Amino acid sequence: MTPAITHKLPDHAVPVPLDKAYRLINHGPTVLVSAAHGGVTDVMAAAWACVLDFTPPKVTVVIDKATFTRGLLEASGQFALQLPTRAMARLTTGVGTDSARDVPDKLARHGVSLFSPPACQVPLVQGCVGWLVCQLIPEPHNQQAYDLFIGEVTAAWADERVFRQGRWCFDDAPDDLRTLHHVAGGYYLVSGEGVQA
């Protein structure tokens, strides 16, 4: 069910200091959520992820009870949010549509390649431009009533071609590296031009 996992960081992936980690999702991208338990990994898409705090950095993400990923997250207490690119729009829609309950080879089918940095227990998705590893902060009422999960970010990486000195800078990089912002039905807006106010 789970593709082979390398321990090598992707080319261009560099650590992001924890006090800047919130900036990876401050601009509201759609994310891939990964979680693993008992040797099984799943990855799903989520448009409803958000920063919750600066330091320690915390995030929220809404994960439906029907998803397979949710069970892995609840069992392991860990998850990752990561930012797919324009080049990964089809992959993102694919893992957001199929469930591993019905499609056991879901990850392979949609071309998901995984890596796991040393000491990181959640496999991460190759090709993304940002990765946030999170420890679940259990809040049973939020999880049951709203499908809302809170995590504290414990490690983060970003692709140095588009995230440098704590900021996204897409304008001088290939368009394929821009992040995705889901509108509906597999239609996305990519992250656009930078504006200083």
Interface contacts to its own copies, rule CB under 8 A: 23, 26-30, 47-53, 58, 60, 62, 86, 89-90, 92-93, 141-142, 146-148, 150, 166-168, 170, 178, 180-184, 186-197
Closer to its own copies by CB, 7 or 167: give it. Answer: 167
Q: Minimum Å distance from CB 20 to its own copies? A: 9
Helix (H, G, I), strand (E, B) or coil at 25: coil
Measure the N-to-C terminal CA separation of the chain; round to a whole number of Å.
Answer: 48
Return the number of other C-beta atoms located less than 10 Å from residue 151's C-beta: 25
How far is 119 from 37, CA to CA, in rounded Å? 15
Q: How far is the CB of 134 from its own copies (least distance, A)?
A: 15
* Comparison of 86 and 120: residue with beta carbon closer to its own copies: 86
Shortest distance, position 173 Cβ to its own copies, whole Å: 13
What is the rounded distance in angstroms from the CA atom of residue 192 to the CA atom of residue 185? Answer: 20
| Shortest Å distance, C-beta 12 to its own copies | 19
Q: Nearer to its own copies by C-beta: 9 or 59?
A: 59
Using alpha carbons only, what angle is made at residue 153 by residues 25 and 2, rounded to the nearest 5 degrees? 90
